[in-house]
Amino acid sequence: MKKMASLLLAMSLTFSLAACGGNNNSSESSNSGEGSTNTQTNAGTNVKEEDAKPVTLRMAWWGSQPRHDYTLKVIEMYEKEHPNVKIESEYANFDDYWKKLAPQAAANELPDIVQMDISYLAQYGQKGQLEDLTPYLNNGIDTSNISENSISGGKLGDKIYGFNIGVNTMNFQYDPELLKKLGVDKPSDDWTWEDYFALASKAKEAGLYFDGGMRPEVFFGYYLRSKGAHLYNADGTALGYEDDQMFVDFFKPLANLVKEGDTPPPDVKAQIKGLEDDMLVKNKQVGIWQWTNQFVAIQQVANRSLEMAHMPGPGRNEGLYLKPSMYFSISKNSENKEEAAKFIDFWVNNVEANKLIKGDRGVPVNTQVAEGIKSTLDPAQVQVFDYVTWAQENSSPMDPPDPVGTAEIIKLFAGLAEQMDFQKLSAEDAAKQFRKEANAILAKNKQ
Amino acid sequence: MIYPVIWLLMSSFKPSEQIFQTAGSLIPTDWIWTNYSQGWEGIGGHSFGVFIKNSLVLVVLATIGAVASSALIAFGFARLKFFGSTFWFGVMMVTLMLPHDVTLVPQYIMFSKIGWLNSIKPIVIPAYFGAPFFIFLMIQFIRTIPQELDEAATIDGCGKFRLFYRIILPLIAPALATAAIFSFYWRWEDLINPVLYLNKPSMYPVSMALKMYLDADTLSNWGAMFAMSIVSLVPVVAVFFAFQKHIVEGISTSGLK
Amino acid sequence: MRAAWKNHLTGYAFISPFVIGFLAFILIPAGASLYLSFTSYDLFTTPRWIGLDNYKEMFFQDSKYWQSLKVTLIYVFLGVPLRLAFALLIAMLLNTASKAVGIYRTVYYLPSIIGGSVAVSIMWRNIYGDEGIINLLLNTLGLDSIRWFAEPFAALWMLISLSVWQFGSSMLIFLAGLKNIPNELYEAANVDGAGPVRRFFGITLPMLTPIILFNTILQTIGAFMTFTPAYIISKGEGGPLDGTLLYSLYLFRQGFVYFDMGYASAMAWMMLIIVSIFTAILFATSKFWVHYESKGD
State pLDDT tens for residues A414-424. Answer: 999 999 999 99
* Cα–Cα nearest to C120, from B49, B181, A273: A273
Q: For residue A163, what are the β-bridge partners? A: A328
CATH topology of domain A170-321+401-445: D-Maltodextrin-Binding Protein; domain 2 (3.40.190)
Residue B116 touches partner C, C-beta closer than 8 Å: no
d(CA A226, CA A240): 13
- Check CB contact of C29 with chain A, cutoff 8 Å: no
CB pairs < 8 Å spanning B and C: 264
Domains of chain C with CATH codes:
62-289 (1.10.3720.10)
Q: In angstroms, rounded to a whole number, what is the distance separating the alpha carbons of residues A165 and B136?
A: 53
End-to-end CA distance of chain B: 40
Residues 6+ apart with CB under 8 A from A101: A60, A110, A114, A124
Indicate the residue of B104, B118, B195 with minimum beta-carbon distance to A96: B195
Label residues C249-268 b or e (16+ Cβ within 10 Å = b): bbbbbbbbbbbbbbbbbbbb
Q: Rounded distance, CA B222 to CA B207, Å?
A: 15
The answer for C 190-229 residues in CB contact with B (under 8 A) is 207, 210-211, 213-214, 217-218, 221, 224-225
Cα dihedral C112, C113, C118, C124 sign: negative
Residue B187 lies in a domain: yes
**Closest CA relative to residue A275, chosen from B219, C243, C60:** B219
CA angle (B249 as vertex; B244, B250 as ends), nearest 5:
100
Distance CA C163, CA A153 (A): 46
Q: Does B21 fall in a domain?
A: no
Chain C residues closer than 8 Å to A124 by CB: 44
Chains that touch B (3 or more CB pairs under 8 A): A, C
Q: What is the average pLDDT across A272-276?
A: 77
Question: How many domains in chain B?
Answer: 1
Which residue in chain B has the smallest CA separation from C279? B93
pLDDT at B24: 58
SS3 A307: strand
Contacts of A12 in chain B (CB under 8 A): 65, 125, 128-129
Of the candidates A97, A21, A7, the residue with the CA atom closest to the CA atom of residue A60: A97
pLDDT, tens digit (0-9, with 9 covering 90-100), for A16-58: 333 333 333 333 333 333 333 333 334 344 444 445 689 999 9
Residue A107, chain C, CB below 8 Å: the answer is no
Kindly state whether C199 is in contact with chain A, defined as any CB-CB distance less than 8 angstroms. Answer: no
Compare all CA atoms of chain C with the CA of B11 and give the residue at the minimum distance: C119
Nearest to C256 by CA among A59, A97, A200, B138: A97
In-domain check, residue B31: no
Closest residue of chain A to C7, computed from CA coordinates: A1
* 3-class secondary-structure state, position A427: helix
Mean pLDDT in chain A?
85
Confirm whether B23 is domain-assigned.
no
Name every residue whose Cβ is closer than 8 Å to that of residue B81 and which is 6 or more positions away in sequence: C7, C11, C296
Using CB atoms, pick whichever of B20, B105, B128 lies closest to residue A12. Answer: B128
Which of C109, C98, C103, C223 has its CA nearest to residue C172?
C109
Q: Where are the beta strands (DSSP E) in A317-434?
A: 323-330
> What is the full per-residue pLDDT of chain C (297 aa) written as tens digits?
567 788 888 888 888 999 999 998 889 999 999 999 999 998 888 899 998 999 999 999 888 999 999 999 999 999 999 999 989 998 888 887 666 777 777 888 887 777 656 667 777 777 788 777 788 888 888 888 888 888 888 888 888 888 888 888 888 888 888 887 877 788 888 888 878 888 888 888 888 888 899 899 989 998 998 887 777 676 777 778 888 889 988 998 888 888 888 999 999 999 999 999 999 998 899 888 887 766 544
Q: By the 8 A CB rule, do A199 and A210 touch?
A: yes
For CA atoms A269, A270, A275, A278, give the dihedral sign: negative
Q: For an interface test with A, give the residue of B7, B14, B20 to mutate (most A CBs within 10 A).
A: B20
Instruction: Give chain B positions within 8 Å (CB) of C131.
Output: 24
With a cut of 90, say whether residue A312 has pLDDT above it.
yes
Q: A129, C130: Cβ pair inside 8 Å?
A: no
Rounded to the nearest 10 degrees, what angle do helices C118-128 and C152-165 cross at? 130
- Cis, peptide link before residue B99, omega less than 30° from 0: no
Instruction: Calculate how close chain A gets to C166, using CA atoms only, in Å.
Output: 22
Sign of CA dihedral C101, C104, C106, C108: negative
CATH fold of A4-168+323-393, please?
D-Maltodextrin-Binding Protein; domain 2 (3.40.190)
ipTM score of complex: 0.85
Instruction: Count chain A–chain C contacts defined by CB atoms under 8 A.
Output: 77
Q: H helices of A107-237, where?
A: 118-126, 148-151, 176-180, 193-200, 216-226
Note down the domain range covering B119: 3-14+45-256
Handedness of CA A204, A210, A211, A217 (dihedral sign): negative
Question: Is B142 among the domain residues?
Answer: yes
The alpha-carbon gap from B46 to the nearest alpha carbon of chain C, in Å, equals 22
Query: Which residue, among B124, B103, B143, C254, has the nearest Cα to A103 in the 3D structure?
Result: B103
Write down the pLDDT at residue C92. 86
Q: B199 by DSSP, 3-state: which?
A: coil
Q: In the prediction, which pLDDT does C203 show?
A: 83
CB A348 within 8 A of CB A366: yes
Q: For residue A365, what are the contacts with CB-CB under 8 A and spacing of at least 6? A: A146, A147, A150, A151, A164, A165, A166, A167, A348
pLDDT reported for residue B68: 93
**pLDDT value, residue B215:** 65
Q: A407 and chain C: CB distance < 8 Å anywhere?
A: yes
Smallest Cβ–Cβ distance between C241 and the set A4, A105, A419 belongs to A419
Whether the CB-CB separation of B222 and B214 falls below 8 Å is answered with yes
Q: Distance between CA A313 and CA A244 in Å, rounded? A: 20
* Residue A272 backbone class (left: φ over 0; alpha: ψ -120 to 50; beta: rest): beta
Q: With an 8 Å Cβ cutoff, is C42 touching chain A? A: yes
Contact list in C for residue B80 (CB cut-off 8 A) is 7, 10-11, 14, 296
**Interface test mutation site (partner B, options A7, A9, A11, A12, max chain B beta carbons within 10 A):** A12
Rounded to a whole number, what is the distance in angstroms from the first to the last CA of chain C?
21
Please tell me the distance in Å from A357's CA to the nearest CA on chain B.
Answer: 14
DSSP β-ladder status, A159-160 and A155-156 = antiparallel
A170 and A390 in contact (C-beta within 8 Å)?
Answer: no
CATH number of the domain bearing residue B73: 1.10.3720.10
Give A410 to chain C, closest Cα distance, Å. Answer: 10
A427, A251 Cβ separation under 8 angstroms: yes
- State yes or no: pLDDT of A305 exceeds 80: yes
- Across the interface, whether the CB atoms of C30 and B225 are under 8 A apart is answered no
CA contacts within 13 A on the Cβ side of C47: 22
Nearest to A404 by CA among A237, A160, A241: A237
Closest CA to C29 of B128, B95, B91: B95
- In order of C131, C142, C143, the CA distances from C146 in angstroms are 10, 12, 9
Judge whether residue A147 has pLDDT over 80.
Answer: yes
Minimal Cα distance from B12: which residue of C?
C119
As a whole number of angstroms, the distance between CA B99 and CA B96 comes to 8
Give CA B177 to chain center in angstroms: 12
Residues sharing a CB contact under 8 Å with residue B256, sequence separation 6 or more, in sequence order:
B149, C182, C184
Over residues A100-109, the mean pLDDT reads: 90
Residue B34 lies inside a defined structural domain of this protein: no
Distance CA A167, CA A159 (A): 19
Q: Which residues contact A149 (CB under 8 A, 6 or more apart)?
A: A322, A397, A398
- Looking at residue A309, its pLDDT comes to 94
**Pairwise pLDDT comparison (A246 vs A4), residue with the higher score:** A246
Contact B4, B23 (CB under 8 A): no
Measure CB to CB from residue C240 to each of A4, A102, A270 and give the nearest one: A270
Residue among B76, B135, B241 minimizing CB distance to C106: B241
Could you tell me if residue B29 is inside a domain?
no
Average pLDDT over residues A136-158: 89
State whether A273 and C122 contact (CB < 8 Å): yes
* Whole-number Cα distances in Å, C194 to B46, C97, C180, C200, C201: 63, 21, 20, 10, 11
Nearest CA in chain B to A271: B20
Which parts of chain B have pLDDT scores under 50? 251-257
A372 CB near a chain C CB, below 8 Å? Answer: no
Question: How far is the first Cα of chain A from the last one, in angstroms, to the nearest whole number?
Answer: 59
d(CA A100, CA A110): 10
* Subunits adjacent to chain A (3 or more Cβ pairs under 8 Å): B, C
